[in-house]
Structure 1
Amino acid sequence: MSTTDGTDPARVAALYDDFGRHWAHGTSPLYEEWALGIAGDRELTTRIAGLSRRLRQPNLLFASARWAGSPLAPFAQWREWLLAAWDRVLDIAKERSTQTNEPNRCATLLPVISRIDGPVALLEVGAAAGLCLFPDRYAYEYSTPTRIRRLAPSADDRRVNLACRIDADDVVPDRLPEVVWRRGIDLNPIDPRDPEEVDWLATLVWPGPDHDRRVERLRAAAEVAASDPPEIIRGDLLETVTEIAASAPHDATLVVFHSAVLLYLDAAGRERFADIMDGLAAEVDRRVVWLSNESRGTLTAVDARVPADLDTSRRFIQSVDGAPIALAGQHGATYETSAFRGR
Structure 2
Amino acid sequence: MTDLDLVRRRLAAFARTEAHGVSPLYEHLAERAAQDADVAGLLTAAPERFAHPTLLLAAAHRLVQAEPFHPLSDYYPSLGGTYGADHNTWPLFRSFLLERAEKVRAIVSTRSVQTNEVRRAALVYPAVARVKGPIGLLEVGCSAGLLLGLDQYGYRYQTQQAGQLVAGPTKSALGLHCALELADGAELPKLPKSVKVAARVGLDRAPADLTDEDTYAWLEACVWADQPERLRLFGVAATAQRKARPEFVTGDAVADLAKAAALVPAELPLVVLTSNLFAYVPGADFVAALKALDRPVWWVSHDGYAGALEHVLPGRADLKPASGEPAFGVVGLVRVEKGEVSSVSALARTALHGQRLVWLP
Give the structure 2 partner of residue 162 of structure 1. Answer: 176
The letter of the residue matching 1:205 is: V
**One of 296, 304, 314 as aligned partner of 1:304:** 314
Q: CA deviation at 1:6?
A: 7.6
1:264 to 252, 274, 280: 280
The residue that corresponds to 2:355 in the other structure is: 333
Q: Which of 195, 198, 211 is 1:177 aligned to?
A: 195
Letter in 2 for 1:315: F
Counterpart residue number, 1:235: 251
Check whether the contact 1:141–1:150 (CA below 8 A) recurs between aligned residues. Answer: yes
Residue 291 (str. 1) matches residue 300 (str. 2): yes
Relative distance call for 1:221 and 1:275 in structure 2 (3 A) is same
Aligned to 1:221: 237
* 2:333–2:345 Cα contact (<8 Å) kept: yes
AA in 2 matched with 1:331: H
* Cα distance in structure 2, aligned partners of 1:12 and 1:96: 16
Residue aligning to 1:199: 217
TM-score (norm 2): 0.83
User: 2:151 aligns to what SS in structure 1?
Assistant: coil
CA deviation vs aligned residue, 1:52-80 (integer Å, no higher than 9, x gap): 21452211111112212272451222111
Question: Where does residue 47 of structure 2 map in the other structure?
Answer: 52
Residues 54/85 of structure 1: CA separation in 2 closer, same or farther (3 Å cut): farther
Residue equivalent to 1:278: 291
CA distance in structure 1 between the aligned counterparts of 2:213 and 2:43, rounded to whole angstroms: 30
8 Å Cα contact 1:164/1:332 also seen in 2: yes
Match of 1:61 in 2: 56
- What is the RMSD computed on CA atoms of the aligned residues? 2.2
Cα offset, 1:198, TM superposition: 2.5
Question: Which residue type is aligned with residue 316 of structure 2?
Answer: V
The aligned residue for residue 24 of structure 1 is 19
Identity of aligned residues (%): 28
* Aligned-partner Cα distance in 2 for 1:270–1:233: 20
Deviations 1:220-277, CA, capped at 9 Å, x for gaps: 0001100111111111111111122123122221110111112113xxx331111112
Aligned to 1:252: 268
Q: Structure 1 189/174 Cα, relative in aligned 2: closer, same or farther at 3 Å?
A: same
Match for 1:92: what amino acid?
A: I
Distance 1:99 1:310, change over 3 A: closer
Q: Deviations over 1:153-203 (max 9, x none)?
A: 23xx22101111112462151321110000001111112333442232121
Instruction: Name the amino acid aligned to 1:217.
Output: L
Shift of 1:108: 1.0
Partner Cα distance (1:13, 1:332) in 2: 27
Cα separation, 2, equivalents of 1:207 and 1:328 = 21
Instruction: Give the Cα–Cα distance (whole angstroms) in 1 for the partners of residues 289 and 46 of structure 2.
Output: 31
Contact 2:169 2:193 in 1 (8 A): no
**What amino acid is the match of 1:41?**
D
Asked if the contact 2:328–2:351 (Cα under 8 Å) also holds between the matched residues in 1, the reply is yes
Q: Is the 8 A contact 1:198 1:222 kept in 2?
A: no
Judging changes above 3 Å, is the alpha-carbon distance between structure 1 residues 14 and 116 closer, same or farther for their aligned structure 2 residues? same
What SS class does the counterpart of residue 216 from structure 1 fall into?
Answer: helix
The yes-or-no answer on 1:316 pairing with 2:329 is: yes
Query: Structure 1 residues 123 and 64 mapped into 2: Cα distance closer, same or farther (>3 Å)?
Result: same
Q: Distance in 1 between matches of 2:331 and 2:353?
A: 13
Runs (5+) with no aligned partner, structure 1: none
1:254/1:317 CA distance change after superposition, 3 Å:
same
How high is the TM-score relative to the length of structure 1?
Answer: 0.87
Match of 2:205 in 1: 187
Structure 2: runs of 5 or more not aligned: 76-88, 335-343
Pairs aligned (count): 323
Instruction: Note the C-alpha offset of 1:307.
Output: 2.6
CA contact (8 A) 1:142 1:172 kept: no
Matches within 5 A, 1:79-228: 79-146=94-161, 147-154=163-170, 157-168=171-182, 170-208=188-226, 211-228=227-244
What secondary structure, in the 3-state scheme, does the structure 1 residue paired with 2:330 have?
A: strand
Match of 2:10 among 9, 15, 18: 15
